Amino acid sequence: MKVAAAVLAAIVIVVIVAGTLVRSYTRAAFANEQRATGARALAYDALQYQLDEETAVRGYAATHNDAFLDPYAAATSALPATLRALRDAAAALKLPVAADAASDAAATNSAWLQDVVQPLLARRTDALPIEKRGKDLVDHYRADMRTVQDAVSARKQALDEATETAIDRLNGFVLLVAIAIVALGIAFGVQQTRLANDLAAKEREAAQLAAAYETEKRLAETLQDAFVQRPLPVLPAVSFSATYVPATEEAKVGGDWYDALELGRDRVMFVIGDVAGHGLEAAVAMNRARQALVTAAIVDPDPARLLARVNRELLHQRVRMVTAVCGYADARTFEFTYATAGHPPPVLVEPGRPPRMLHVGGLPLAVVDDPEYVTHTVQSVPGAMLVLYTDGAVEHSRDVLAGEETLLAAIRSASDARAGNPAAAIHSTIFDQHAVGDDVAIMTVAFVSGAHAGGEGDAAIVAAGARGAPDGVRGTIVSLGDAVSRLRERAARRRGRLAS
Amino acid sequence: MSEQSSYRVISLRGELDISRKAEIGAALQIAGPGPAVLVDLSDVQYADSTIIAEMLRFREDARRCGRRLAVLIGDPRFRRVLQYAGLESAFALFEDRGAALTYLSAAETT
């Protein structure tokens, strides 16, 4: 609307200025023409007065009738003023030739009156030379008048043409203004239409952006959920530690997880898993698998049946292949029961014995209809620690057998050193400043020595030990939060590009 | 039917990981019932979970079509990977080519 008002104001100003200019120009042209017309009339009068003088003088000379002298007197009294007016008009018309001619005519007439008319009126006898002189002076006078008339006529013609041109210009200008107004009107209409369209498009775009933003936000939140590992339970009889380090490459986010669920004072369910691949789809599959496993663990205490149940659910949801180990640790019986689905074997460390790899078997989840899972039961001892991990912990060199050796050595040293956070200690021993090419999650579940005999006092110590565990986890969460921030920033940049 | 034409060989080598997913997915694609297949992985040392998933899908397809599969492996590291993945019991694994072929031809006559 502002633009339209400005355009309208500009048109009005242009029309007023142009109209004023044309008017003043036209008025000047008309004034000059009036002057020219007046000059012509004066020239005509001057010729007429001179003719009256001559006619009167010749009539008197022939008849000596005084009646002839009346027109002579009238003409003689009027002629000098007429010639002055003619001279002034010629000067006003910027016709110096005509002005000079008018002055010259006045002088000629004076000479004629003196040299010709006076002797004739005095009835002098030397008529022939006077007649000769009179003819010369009258011819001269008439020549002057012709000069004046020619000049004024030429000027008048020029003025007529100029006026015509001015009128043409005026017409042209009026036409142009009319065209401009029509064109501006059309342009304004088109602009209004386009603005309306643009507005509609912008609104659509904004709606799309809002929808895209919502989607991205939801995805980012899903990722955030995927990254943030749940806090591990703090129990008097069972202690946990865990670490999760995502792949160094930013694109490889999500995929690995661990969970531990308190099922009473002495019993916990534990699970570690890995979704094939990386990225958002893997994170979504991971969240579903994780949810399904924890939910199933509440209703079914048998790990093999639990995995079979979860497999059906994940197949139904058509998520990616998932590998997992899930099981229970019972601090009253010091028993681990577990089942595996395409996952690397858990490692058991018992006091005074080298760590050993447990049996594995079942197929990964979410791939085949009826996989067979087997529940393994391991009778263990107080102080025993079960180490669960994802394939990144043994497959980093792509030599699984060498990877196993490294892992077992790292577990042994962490166990011997009684590390406060065994999972973090194992990870740092294995990777020792190497870049990690794959996600790695490690979780330990241990029966606390003498927890049952010790009661509350020991429980406090255990809780302190267990509280040490989330440190590594928390550090990880911070870096994962950064990853999500980066994802969000990228999304924002995309939106920025879209909007510009 | 001769023994040569009674089975098909799919051969993959090296490290099988996500970067070769398209290639391996295409190789493990057999339309229709077709003959028995010998999957020769005797020069494979490693397969990541993406490829394990491809292999399991291939096994499911074959099972639906009633097609016999024999998998030839050579590297103990790879055997361990398959063991982790639970594939040791899901596939007929052989370290000897002759034994694998005998298995396939025996399967055909039954």
pLDDT in tens, A395-423: 888 899 999 999 999 999 999 888 889 99
pLDDT of residue A325: 96
pLDDT in tens, A263-291: 888 899 999 999 877 667 777 788 888 88
CB contact under 8 A, A363 and B87: yes
Residue A91 near residue A41, CB atoms below 8 Å? no
Q: Exposure of B67 by Cβ count < 10 A (0-12 exposed, 13-18 middle, 19+ buried)?
A: buried
pLDDT in tens, A472-487: 333 333 344 455 555 5
Dig out the tokens for A286 from the structure: 């991971």
User: How far is the CA of A224 from the CAs of A438, A491, A495, in angstroms?
Assistant: 18, 15, 21
| A500 band by pLDDT with thresholds 50, 70 and 90 | very low
Cβ of B9 under 8 Å from any chain A Cβ?
A: no
Cβ of A371 under 8 Å from any chain B Cβ?
A: yes
CB contact under 8 A, B83 and A362: no
Cβ of A364 under 8 Å from any chain B Cβ?
A: yes
Residue A307 near residue A339, CB atoms below 8 Å? yes
pLDDT of residue A478: 35
pLDDT value at A159 more than 90: no
Looking at chain B, the number of H-run helices and the number of E-run strands are: 4, 4
Residue A464 is which amino acid? A
CB contact under 8 A, B49 and A401: no
User: How far is the CA of A303 from the CAs of A295, A297, A315, A370, in angstroms?
Assistant: 13, 8, 18, 16
Residue B46 near residue A391, CB atoms below 8 Å? no
Return d(Cα A132, Cα A53) in angstroms, integer.
17
Cβ of A274 under 8 Å from any chain B Cβ?
A: yes
Q: CB neighbours (10 Å) of residue A252?
A: 18
- Residues of A within 8 A of B61 (CB-CB) are none
Q: Exposure of A16 by Cβ count < 10 A (0-12 exposed, 13-18 middle, 19+ buried)?
A: exposed
| Domains delineated in chain B | 7-109 (3.30.750.24)
DSSP string, A330-394: ETTTTEEEEEEES-PPPEEE-TTS--EEPP--BPPBTS-SS-----EEEE--TT-EEEEE-THHH
Which residue of B15, B52, B76 is in closest CB contact with A401? B76
Beta bridge partners of A479: none
CA atoms within 13 A on the CB side of A83: 26
pLDDT of residue B17: 87
Which residue bears the tokens 């995502």?
A246
Beta bridge partners of B44: B14
Phi/psi of residue A437, each to 5°?
-85, -15
Q: Exposure of A228 by Cβ count < 10 A (0-12 exposed, 13-18 middle, 19+ buried)?
A: middle
- Among A253, A233, A231, A257, residue whose Cα is nearest residue A244: A257
The shortest C-alpha distance from A225 to chain B (Å) reads 23
CA atoms within 13 A on the CB side of A149: 13
B31 Cβ contact partners less than 8 Å away, ≥ 6 residues apart: none
| Domains delineated in chain A | 2-192 (1.20.120.1730), 230-499 (3.60.40.10)
Tell me the ipTM for this assembly.
0.88
pLDDT in tens, A335-384: 999 999 999 999 999 999 999 999 998 999 998 888 999 999 999 999 99
**pTM (2 d.p.):** 0.58
